[in-house]
Chain A
Amino acid sequence: MSHQLSFFDSPPANEVQEGNVDQTTRAERISKISWSYSRRAVMEKCLRNYYYEYYGGNKRTATQEANKQLISQLKQLKNRYARTGEILHLVISTYLRKAKQGIIWDENRLVSWAKDLFSKDISFSQSSIGNWKPTNEKYSPSMLSEFYYQDPTALSKCLFSQDRLVAAIASFMNDPLYSEFRQKGSQGNSTIEGFIKIRPHTPCLVDGRVDLAYIEDSKVTIVDWKLGNEDGIGDDSLQLAAYGLWAVESLKCRAESIRICKVHFSSQKIVNFECNSQVLHLARARIMQDAERMAFLEGYGKNACVEAFTPCKQTAICQQCSFLAICDDSKEITYA
């Protein structure tokens, strides 16, 4: 005997009605997503980290998150790799910007500035162990996660990173390999640390930042600085393909006229990315596929449903994670 189910009298707001699945199209679902390579990288690395970064620690969303304050605080921690990378970008962009104005900063000045910034981070971190409170001051030193989590080898690890940073800056300034970038980057039409915000025929927004770009003889060159060694991804780099999409969209150039290079300071290598319309087509599809995943997680994130974000619990990743202190699932993973 058939009967009408009471369930349907008042279907929960977030559940679909019979027959057809969710009526919103896939394109509509991703239209509010802002894709960036770094967001995708976090999502790929650890979903729980992704929650803390984009929902739990975000003031405007996941309002029911009970630990919002702590998560927001942890979000401001930086590990040595992230911080030295940030300083490298700051130093190179400042050099190029000044050079554009005709002011040339020499290697010593750049190196001592970078060293100074990172040394301040180290001493601040050392003195703030156990009593760190993040401030909103613009140029306040960073709290390094290695010290926050009391890694006994924090200092030596950070000093090693500092050496790498110094070597990278020296290499940027002296190595003939990079002379083209120093020269062309200082010219009037170059873009330095330019923000990307485009919809390259994708319903979602593509967000990011281009380290350096310039046009010469209708050929566009895009450069990405990396402190480390070659990652070997080469022609399979989605990050570089996204720069290609930006160039096609914003500079109205052909894919084939774009040269994208990744500069690896540690191995002193420039890796070129072969840009063509086929690879950009793939990149567009990949970005939309990522955005679909992000859109799928959006509801759980906004509702602060942390359990829907599986923790990766991988020692090597957790040891670099700022959220170790809040992540119950990885309590057993320590720096020891």
Chain B
Amino acid sequence: MLETNIRIIQPGMNLYVWVRQATVTGPNLTTELIEKSCGVIRSRYHLAAVAHPKMPNTILIASYHQINPVHLDGEDWELDVTDSLKPSEKLTLLDEDGMRLIPKLAERALLAQIATSSSLWTMDSPRILYEAKPIFIENGIAAYRRYEIGSIFIKNVGIGIVIDTGVAFFSKESLAYYFDSKSDATERVLRERKFMQLIRRQDGQKGTLIYDNGRKKTKCYFVSPSYGMTCATTGTLRIKNQSYDSLFDYYKATNPNILIEKDTPAIRVSFQNMDRPQPVAADHVWVRVMNEYLPNSMRDIDKITPNDKRNILINFWGILGPKPLGQMAPGIEKQFWRPSKDQIFQFPIPKLDFGADNVLATPKEFSNPAYSDHFRNRSQMLRKFGCYQVPPNICRTFYCAYPKTLGEDAAKTLAVDLASELQKLTKKPMVSQLVSYDNISEAIEQLRDLDQNGMVVFVLNEEPSAYYEAEFQLPGWRIKRINKSTVEEHFLYLQSGVKDKSNKSSSMETGRRRWSGFVSMTALDVIQLLDVTPYRVDSLGPYESNLIIDVGHDRRFFAVSLLISRPNIKTPGFRIISHTQHKVDHKEEAINPVILMDEITALFTRLPKKFDPLTSLLIIRDGKFVKQEPDGLNNALLKLKATGYISQDARIDWVEVRKDTQKVIRLWDVNETSIAHNPLMGTGIKLDDEMVIMVNTGAPTLPQATADPILIVANGHCCNVLDAAQANFSGAQMNWSSPRVAQRLHIGMKRTDEDLKSRSAQEVRRLR
């Protein structure tokens, strides 16, 4: 039985909420300030509030009774909220406003209740809550259970509250420990090194910290160590037009309960929306350790099986009690929501074409064993029959550039094993050539002397701008980057085996397996850089092509990719291309429409001259279409139609794919004994005509964690959202980097995602 982590608010579709209209007044009101006022009303007065959808500077507060005037202020803003004195309004789920606003109000009512009745704490987002005590501490890192809360309107069902759980990591020690000026020189170096590892300073990361001022916890960023600076010696601070002689004076004047002394060490950090770094008490600041930076031994800790997740959430709901929304609703359903049969869909895995016209058929049944076989076969067929398409002029020599400190042994083994793996995949002879270097410039020079352009597996040393230098100085080269430490780690497995859990004996066989797994993963990445198509699907649901648009997480780049997959009677039958471009207006979420139009049209000009116009295209915005992006897209489509890339009568649909969905919905199958498992990949729920949620991963290739679904939203631009879902599922079947395991994202989205990550990894962020 398919179940979700959603609980429906009683009484389902009959839920209604009384709201008061209130006017917000103040200088320079912005949308953010109005939102802020709703947030403050929730946290100070425990009332849910939302911005009025139609009236500017007006908010709706979930209350039947008149609201007393409220004055709110912050660091650099102030505003007043006054009841409009109009009669209370009844929002129901039968009208548009109700469908849109009640979920938000319900979510906020729940957050307000949690804030008054639990010890959970929040950082920046009120929707993400952390348990007060860590669940365990290891390697100086404390793991905290976290809960993420969302809400959703489900047609004919009602409002659902979605809660997901995960694990977040923080340093056990505060920054006062890492930058203790009293520690001796050796200890100081060790602690500082450990700190830099935790924040990944060597990768040019800013270092995310958490600052607890005793009243709330805020995210901030590391600026620089300030050995010897104490709260009393920071110098004058000017905050909110007030001068304070020191940080100590500031705390005493504004936050007398905070436990600090004059000699408490201080550290400089930067906060979002503040141009200047600020000193804060170092013993009130900890490192937020990102999951991807955890030491190897802790990598799997944040993986939670569906059954464990379900039990944790049942327990959490138990703690929230029968009326978790307070007065807003009579209660909440005691069971997780299970969609009706007609809402559930299951896409079959499409057939896949491999080299030499070999086909891997659709699994005969929807079952774990059939799917397991299928994925095993993907990998076997790839090795046996080779790739679907290998460019005839593919380069046969690749270089392996490595820092001398790696040692020739490791580099040689990597290069030889890689060549043999590439040969298996491409069925072409491949040779490697080693290039050793002391510094990146030297490596670049040598490579340039050897070839004009080519393929290089670049084992990068620790030079901070190494990756950027390599990409910049080697135009036209295809570069597969590997960090030196990754090669070292795997080479050690090969040479010394892998220690068992008790750390007593080593298995050489496991070590060899890890090394060859690493080599074959690298080979799969290399062939993609060489424009090889390992295997393909016939079509993308009802579409011939998908265009993907994505913006990097720091908004400094955006990427577009185009996947064409159609019968070979058309030219080209199959092609994937992508392109990354600067997003100079990085403070803006939206891509500038003029630039978006230009980049989309430029992408098409990279297609072969001989080209059959596309008769159907699904455009996927990874995230949300923002502001004038649709204008840019429409103009690009007009141009592409005018130039013949897209036929005039082509079917063109647009959807948004929320891969990091705010709604944190999970799906699992619950058996007769109430044990939850991941559903089979391709399972989904049609929430309404505009929205589906589906899992591209899941059973049987995800044994340890809970499948992470994607949410597909049509927003009126797609005539059948299930078609878009099918295209997404088909696109995800090209799991070229790891054929044995299902892939969460459509290959086009994966491409843009990786391109953006690669550009982001090259960016120097520290200097500004």
> Is A7 close to B, CB under 8 A?
yes
**A232 lies within 8 A of B223 (CB):** yes
A2-B610 contact in complex given A15-B601, A300-B594, A315-B30, C-beta closer than 8 Å:
yes
Known: A232-B276, A267-B235. A1 touches B464 (CB 8 A): no
Out of A1, A16, A282, A314, name the residue touching B465 (CB < 8 Å): A282
Does the CB pair A282–B767 fall under 8 Å?
A: yes
CA distance A307 to B632 in the complex (A): 11
A233 at the binding interface (Cβ < 8 Å):
yes
- A296 within 8 Å of B by Cβ? yes
In the complex, chain A residues whose CB is within 8 Å of the CB of B475: 25-27
Q: Identify which of A1, A26, A267, A269 contacts B612 (C-beta below 8 A).
A: A1
Residue among B270, B645, B768 with max Cβ neighbours from chain A (10 Å): B768
B608 an interface residue at 8 Å Cβ cutoff?
A: yes
Beta-carbon contact of B767 and A241 below 8 Å: yes
Task: Assess whether A59 is interfacial by the CB under 8 Å rule.
Answer: no
Given contacts A16-B605, A27-B475, A47-B585, contact A308 B595 (CB under 8 A): yes
- Residue A18 at the B interface, CB < 8 A? yes
Interface contact B594-A281, CB-CB below 8 Å = no
- Bound CA span A236–B605, Å: 41
- Contacts A5-B643, A18-B606; A284 near B465 (Cβ below 8 A): yes
B28 adjacent to chain A (CB < 8 Å): yes
A330, B381: Cα distance in complex, Å: 60
What B residues does A285 contact at CB under 8 A? 464-465, 468-469, 764
Evaluate contact between A232 and B277: CB separation under 8 angstroms: yes
Separation in Å of the B610 CB from the closest CB of chain A? 5
B602's contact among A16, A234, A236, A237, by CB below 8 Å, is which? A16
Whether A232 and B268, one on each chain, are in contact in the complex, defined by CB atoms closer than 8 angstroms, is yes
B residues contacting the other copy or chain, number (CB 8 A):
56
Query: CA of A137 to CA of B571 in the docked complex: distance in angstroms?
Result: 66
For residue A32, CB closer than 8 A to chain B, the reply is no
Residues of chain B within 8 A of A283, CB atoms compared:
767
A53→B447 CA distance, assembly (Å): 41
Roughly how many angstroms separate A241 CA and B768 CA in the complex, as a whole number?
10
Residues of A within 8 A of B767 (CB): 236-238, 241, 279, 282-283, 286
Whether B610 lies near A19 (C-beta < 8 A) is: no
The residue from B235, B236, B468, B609 contacting A5, defined by CB atoms under 8 A apart: B609
B605 touches A15 (CB 8 A): yes
Q: Is A312 an interface residue (CB 8 A)?
A: yes
Closest chain A residue to B206 by CB distance? A236
Contact B610 A307 (CB under 8 A): no
Helix, strand, loop or mixed for chain B's interface?
loop
Query: Is A217's CB within 8 Å of the partner chain B?
Result: no
**In the complex, residue of chain A having the shortest beta-carbon distance to the beta carbon of B592:** A310
Residue B754 at the A interface, CB < 8 A?
no
Q: Which residue of chain B has the shortest Cβ distance to A40 in the bound complex?
A: B768
Q: How far is the CA of A2 from the CA of B608 in the complex (A)?
A: 11
- Give the residues in chain B near A230, CB-CB below 8 Å: 235, 276
**A139 contacts partner chain B, Cβ-Cβ < 8 Å:** no
Q: How far is the CA of A279 from the CA of B571 in the complex (A)?
A: 50
B553: Cβ under 8 A from any A Cβ:
no
B43 near A: Cβ within 8 Å? no
The verdict on A112 contacting chain B, using a C-beta distance below 8 Å, is no
* B316 interface residue (CB < 8 Å to A): no
Binary flags per residue of B84-103, CB closer than 8 Å to A gives 1, else 0: 00000000000000000000
Q: Which residue from A237, A282, A297 sits with its C-beta under 8 Å from B464?
A: A282
From 1 to 40 in chain A, residues with beta carbon under 8 angstroms from any chain B beta carbon are: 1-8, 11, 15-21, 25-27
B463 at the interface (CB under 8 A from A): yes
Q: Which of B498-550 contact A (CB under 8 A)?
A: none
Q: A232-B276, A285-B465 are in contact. Are A292 and B582 (CB under 8 A)?
A: yes
Query: Residue A310 contacts which of B238, B476, B588, B766 (CB distance < 8 angstroms)?
Result: B588
Q: Does B587 contact A (CB under 8 A)?
A: yes
Interface residues of A in 261-290 (CB under 8 A from B): 267, 269, 278-279, 281-286, 288-289
For residue A293, which residues in chain B have a CB less than 8 angstroms away from its CB?
Answer: 582, 584
Is the C-beta of B218 less than 8 angstroms from some C-beta in chain A? no
Query: Which residues of A have CB within 8 Å of B611?
Result: 2, 5
Could you tell me which residues of chain B, from 582 to 604, have a CB within 8 Å of some CB in chain A? 582, 584-585, 587-588, 590, 592-595, 601-602
Tell me the complex Cα distance, A96–B767, Å. Answer: 31
Report the bound CA distance from A293 to B582 in whole Å.
6
User: Which of chain A's residues has its CB closest to B608's CB?
Assistant: A18
Beyond A2-B571, A2-B612, A282-B764, is A234–B268 a contact (Cβ under 8 Å)? yes
Judge if B305 is at the interface, Cβ distance under 8 Å. Answer: no
Q: Are A238 and B768 in contact (CB under 8 A)?
A: yes
Chain A nearest Cβ from B72, distance in angstroms: 18
Which of A233, A281, A297, A312 is B768 in contact with, Cβ under 8 Å? A233
A315 touches B28 (CB 8 A): yes
* B468 CB contacts on chain A under 8 angstroms: 285, 288-289
Cβ of A87 within 8 Å of any chain B Cβ, yes or no, is no
Please name the residue on chain A nearest to B476 by beta carbon.
Answer: A25
Is B68 in contact with chain A by the CB < 8 A criterion? no
Contact residues of B between 57 and 99, Cβ < 8 Å to A? none
Q: Bound state CA distance, A7 and B640, in angstroms?
A: 10
Residue of B nearest to A19 (CB): B606
Complex Cα–Cα for A215 and B474 (A): 38
Residue-by-residue, is A147-173 near B (CB-CB < 8 Å gives 1, otherwise 0)? 000000000000000000000000000
- Do residues A296 and B764 form an inter-chain contact, with CB atoms below 8 A? no
CA distance A307 to B595 in the complex (A): 9
Assembly CA distance A11 to B644 (angstroms): 13
Question: Does any Cβ of A come within 8 Å of B127's Cβ?
Answer: no
Are A18 and B607 closer than 8 Å at their CB atoms? yes
Question: Nearest chain A CB to B144's CB is how many angstroms away?
Answer: 30
Q: Note all chain B residues with C-beta closer than 8 A to A128.
A: none
Choose from B275, B609, B768 the contact partner of A4 (Cβ within 8 Å). Answer: B609
**Contact across chains for B606 and A308 when beta carbons are under 8 A apart:** no
Instruction: Determine the distance from Cα of A245 to Cα of B117 in the docked complex, in whole angstroms.
Output: 57
Whether B293 sits at the interface, judged by CB under 8 Å, is no
Residue A180 at the chain B interface, CB threshold 8 Å:
no
**Which of B28, B238, B464, B570 touches A278 (beta carbons < 8 Å)?**
B464
A152 CB to nearest chain B CB (Å): 14
Asked if B223 contacts A234 (CB within 8 A), the reply is yes
B469 near A297 with CB under 8 A, answer: no
Question: How near does chain A come to B384, taking the closest CB pair, in angstroms?
Answer: 31
A296 contact from B571, B579, B582, B587, Cβ within 8 A:
B582
B291 within 8 A of A: no
CB-defined contacts of A3 to chain B, threshold 8 Å: 610, 612
Give 5 CB contacts A-B under 8 Å. A233-B768, A269-B235, A282-B767, A285-B764, A312-B585
Known: A232-B268, A234-B268. 6 other contacts (CB 8 A): A18-B608, A230-B235, A238-B768, A279-B767, A282-B764, A305-B594
Chain B interfacial positions (CB closer than 8 Å to A): 28, 30, 204, 223-224, 235-236, 238, 268, 270, 275-278, 463-465, 468-469, 472-473, 475-476, 570-571, 579, 581-582, 584-585, 587-588, 590, 592-595, 601-602, 605-612, 643-645, 762-764, 766-768
Binding site for B on A (CB under 8 A): 1-8, 11, 15-21, 25-27, 43, 47, 229-238, 241, 267, 269, 278-279, 281-286, 288-289, 292-293, 296-297, 300, 305, 307-310, 312, 314-315
Q: Which 3 A-B pairs have the closest CB atoms?
A: A232-B277, A285-B465, A310-B585
